[in-house]
Amino acid sequence: MGRKGVFFVISFLLAAAGLSLFASGVDHSKFAELNRSFSKPEDVTAACLKCHNNVASDIMKTNHWLWTRKTDKMPGREGKTVDVGKKNVINNFCIAVTSNEPRCTSCHIGYGWKDGKFDFTDQNKIDCIVCHDTTGTYEKFPTGAGYPVAKDTVFPASKKLFKKPDYKKIATTVGKPGKQTCGSCHFYGGGGHAVKHGALDKSLLDPSKEIDVHMSKDGGGMACIDCHVSENHDIKGQLYTVSVENKDRISCERCHTRYPHTQTLFVENQPDRSYDIFKNRLYKREKPVDNFTHRVLDKHTEKIACQTCHIKFYSTKFKTKTWWDWSKAGEKTPEGKPKVVKDDEGYPVYDGMKGEFKLAKNAEPEYFWFNGQSDKILVGDKIDPDKRPLQINRITGECGGADSKIWPFKVMRGKQLYDPENKTLVIPKLFGPKGSGAYWSDWDWLKASETGMREAGVPFSGKLDWIETEMYWPLTHLVTPSENAVSCDDCHSRKGRLNNVQACWIPGRDRSLVLDILGYLLVAGSFAGVIVHGTMRHVSSKKRKED
């Protein structure tokens, strides 16, 4: 057997044993199975699975593949098993996946999810290279149901040229997921760059320490997978807006101690690879100074999330959407094309296909009590139209509540369709060819709603109205170092950052007339005491001199 053959067998055995070829530094260009031409992306998947023969079954259990997860822990529905996840929740950006699959699934880790008939058991439809490409050249086509282009194609909406991937080059250079591969989807949620999250965008590819202390070369030098570690391709971390249980989260306490301001910053026993980055570079830092101010800060961590102080602003480099009014959609140019209006920086503030937008940059978060759990409006759920604005994902938590802390949020607001008779949010079909009922082709909200609701299997009365909604996005990225964190006065003042936080007494923000009067009396009494005491000392001293 030749050297290449021996190398292939050893690598195969490692893969079969569940060991990562990426972690072992295997050069995939030496594999004859990959050093050939591939006519379609599924052929690359088939080649991968010849060695990684246990991986497909693992991937097909993950959220990245299914876009759904069963839970019986949803607040208000405890004990009732429901399906949550990207596939089943409704949002106030592009509304829902159902009936719009070819557009939405351009960020699915598979090929061909174009409608409700997609076979989630077909391992050949897994897209390995969307996560493991290291060339930076692999791109899925925006409306291709997860497929890249078969030939060089220009996407009409953006005029961007998408090139046919060089599958051989990509397959022979695969590696661990980098920030670019993760960001190719997660930086573009909501239909464009930086639209959705408010703290996930291209600035994280090479940020300064002031932008993100973890991902900066001058800070932690971390990549996404250093926090979002995986086990059997199940990546840790649950997006708060589509999951409900407070489990499998990525918390600050996973790396940092309970008392980071007075004791040591990093935990001593961290089994995940993120600790390897810190133990040689940052773990040996000088012990924090144990003083009164730092003890107060450590006390704050009991009820204040780390992010509240260390994420001073979100969308620090790029604008994000904070308002999306679908009711304003429909305007066209004299040539019959969707009208588009942009601001001075080139960001769209109106699009005839989507409506009116408001944007924010370097924005101050909003703050709420949060215990990591939230209710969701799922496809077909009844709503109360009298409760406006309607909370699409009602976060839970309260002052004094178990596990509740004050968290920073981006709050997305907007207007979207609902059925006033059945009292359900409407899922309109937005994407599709002319004649399909899709709004972006036929420009008829009633047809779009009838088609979308039919495909979702939800009864529709044929009546439409608009309702204002809110969606809460906890902020966990764009963490700044201590010198750039919020100051005491930012929160402990009458019109500070925590001005709208419900309940609880916050020094500097809250007041009591009785306490104020008592305080003034104490001050006045102290002042009077000083005067009386001084006068008595003066008189006494004068008498002693006379004697």
pLDDT higher than 50, residue 16? no
Per-residue pLDDT tens for 181-222? Answer: 999 999 999 999 999 999 999 999 999 999 999 999 998 889
- Please name which of 458, 411, 452 lies closest in space to residue 432, comparing C-alpha atoms: 452
Per-residue pLDDT tens for 217-257? Answer: 998 889 999 889 888 999 988 776 656 666 667 889 888 88
pLDDT at 280: 56
pTM value is: 0.88
- Please name which of 467, 350, 468 lies closest in space to residue 413, comparing C-alpha atoms: 468
pLDDT at 460: 99
pLDDT at 319: 98
Cα-Cα-Cα-Cα dihedral sign, residues 122, 97, 376, 411: positive
- Please name which of 519, 380, 517, 390 lies closest in space to residue 456, comparing C-alpha atoms: 380
Burial classification of residue 429, based on how many CB atoms lie within 10 Å of its CB (0-12 exposed, 13-18 middle, 19 or more buried): buried
Pairwise pLDDT comparison (130 vs 513), residue with the higher score: 130
Taking the C-alpha atoms of residue 371 and residue 404, their distance in angstroms, rounded to an integer, is 4
The answer to whether 241 touches 199, Cβ cutoff 8 Å, is: no
Residue with tokens 């999951």: 243
For residue 360, is it left (φ>0), alpha (ψ between -120 and 50) or beta?
A: beta
pLDDT at 281: 57
pLDDT higher than 80, residue 139? yes
Taking the C-alpha atoms of residue 237 and residue 217, their distance in angstroms, rounded to an integer, is 23
Per-residue pLDDT tens for 494-545? Answer: 889 999 998 788 888 887 777 778 877 888 888 888 888 777 776 776 666 6
Highest mean pLDDT among 6-15, 278-287, 512-521: 512-521
